[in-house]
């Protein structure tokens, strides 16, 4: 058998808008969100092997084989389609973990796409989306990328025209916040925020919103301090990314973003300057 391999860029996302509408009977929350891919990405190499095994290699310690989404998705596909070959997966992690940027979900989507090709499964988009629904609410978005409205748990996707934004400054204070923790801290008041309509129509960041932000900032005051600092020093808008702990600063120009990068690098915080990524569609 000729060895085949694939190299995939697995993009991060930010939520330009995230409203939490209610608690569902299945334990999840009913949400409305506007996702967009950004230029930050993990790199994943997939190599077909004759051995009937799934092996994952990574440049950081977090990859516990049995718990990692890449492994879970690969095992599920292998068992579901009775695949006889194995795969070696090498992950170069650039997206912070449990940081509100969907790194794990993106990796899972990349795995579905790559294994469909490597294992000659020729999965349809419908089949890919059905697989994704078993593992997390954001994976469906990453199967297509670009910009989208997510509803229900976030898995009901309607694709939107890309909202083009440059000079996006990301900063992470170095601690992880699980989605479960962030959603448990949200205060449900029965109010729906309709700013997502304005955001989509006018593509203006003044309509950005994250309902999780208040609860997360109460628990982690350092996040509010960073948001305030960004707003007071030139950012046009600043907010929590997804469930956190990454904070987004929308900057008017590269010079402002660079200024923030120097400041937070000196504090020892992970940071990155990026822009929204256009869908290939």
Q: What are phi and psi of 124, to 5 degrees?
A: -75, 165
Q: Which residues of the chain have pLDDT under 50?
A: 1
Q: In sequence order, what are the residues at sequence separation of 6 or more whose Cβ sits closer than 8 angstroms to the Cβ of residue 200?
A: 34, 149, 160, 163
- What pLDDT score was predicted for residue 62? 56
Q: In sequence order, what are the residues at sequence separation of 6 or more whose Cβ sits closer than 8 angstroms to the Cβ of residue 125?
A: 143, 144
DSSP one-letter string for 155-204: TEEEEE-------EEEEE-S----HHHHHHT----SPPPTHHHHHHHH--
Q: How many residues does the chain have?
A: 281
Q: Are 72 and 112 in contact (CB under 8 A)?
A: no
- What pLDDT score was predicted for residue 61? 64
What does the block give as tokens for 10? Answer: 């697995």
Q: How far apart are CA 77 and CA 119, in angstroms?
A: 10
Neighbouring-strand partners of residue 56: 89
Interstrand relation of 209-210 and 5-23 (parallel, antiparallel or unpaired): parallel
Q: What share of the chain is helix, strand, coil (3-state, %, to 5)?
A: 35, 30, 35
Q: How far apart are CA 202 and CA 275, in angstroms?
A: 18
Can you list the domains of the chain with their CATH numbers? 5-160 (3.30.230.10), 168-274 (3.30.70.890)
Catalytic residue positions, numbered: 13, 138
Tens digits of residue pLDDT in 129-147? 999 999 987 899 999 899 9
What is the number of alpha carbons within 13 Å of residue 179 lying toward its C-beta? 19
What pTM value is reported for the model? Answer: 0.92
Residue matched to tokens 């915080």: 269
Alpha helical stretches, state H, 119-166: 125-132, 139-144
- What pLDDT score was predicted for residue 81? 97
Q: How far apart are CA 152 and CA 268, in angstroms?
A: 37
- What pLDDT score was predicted for residue 41? 97
The DSSP element (H or E) to which 77 belongs, if any, is helix 69-80
Q: How far apart are CA 98 and CA 43, in angstroms?
A: 17
Interstrand relation of 29-49 and 5-23 (parallel, antiparallel or unpaired): antiparallel
- Residue 99's Cα: distance from chain center in Å? 8
What does the block give as tokens for 191? Answer: 């109010």
- What pLDDT score was predicted for residue 1? 47
């Amino acid at each position: 058998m000729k060895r085949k391999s694939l190299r995939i860029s697995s993009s991060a996302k930010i939520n330009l808008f995230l409203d939490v509408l209610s608690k569902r009977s299945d334990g999840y929350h009913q949400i409305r969100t506007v996702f967009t891919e950004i230029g930050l990405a993990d790199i994943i190499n997939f190599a077909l092997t004759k051995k009937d095994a799934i092996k994952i290699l990574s440049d950081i310690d977090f990859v516990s084989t049995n718990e990692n989404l890449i492994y879970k998705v690969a095992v599920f596909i292998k068992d579901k389609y009775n695949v006889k070959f194995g795969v070696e997966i090498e992950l170069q992690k650039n997206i912070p973990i449990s940081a509100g940027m969907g790194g794990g979900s993106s990796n899972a989507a990349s795995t579905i796409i790559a294994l469909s090709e490597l294992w000659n499964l020729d999965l349809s988009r419908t089949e890919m989306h059905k697989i994704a629904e078993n593992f997390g609410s954001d994976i469906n978005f990453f199967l297509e990328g670009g910009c989208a409205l997510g509803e229900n748990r976030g898995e009901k996707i309607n694709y939107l025209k890309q909202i083009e934004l440059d000079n996006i400054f990301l900063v992470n204070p170095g601690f992880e916040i699980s989605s479960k923790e962030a959603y448990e801290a949200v205060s449900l008041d029965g109010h729906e925020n309709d700013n997502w309509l304005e955001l989509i129509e006018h593509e203006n960041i003044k309509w950005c919103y994250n309902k999780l932000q208040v609860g997360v900032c109460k628990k982690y005051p350092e996040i509010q301090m960073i948001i305030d600092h960004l707003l007071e020093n030139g950012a046009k808008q600043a907010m929590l990314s997804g469930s956190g702990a990454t904070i987004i600063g929308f900057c008017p120009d590269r010079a402002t973003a660079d200024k923030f990068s120097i400041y937070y690098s000196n504090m020892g915080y992970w940071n990155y300057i990026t822009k929204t990524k256009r869908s290939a569609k």
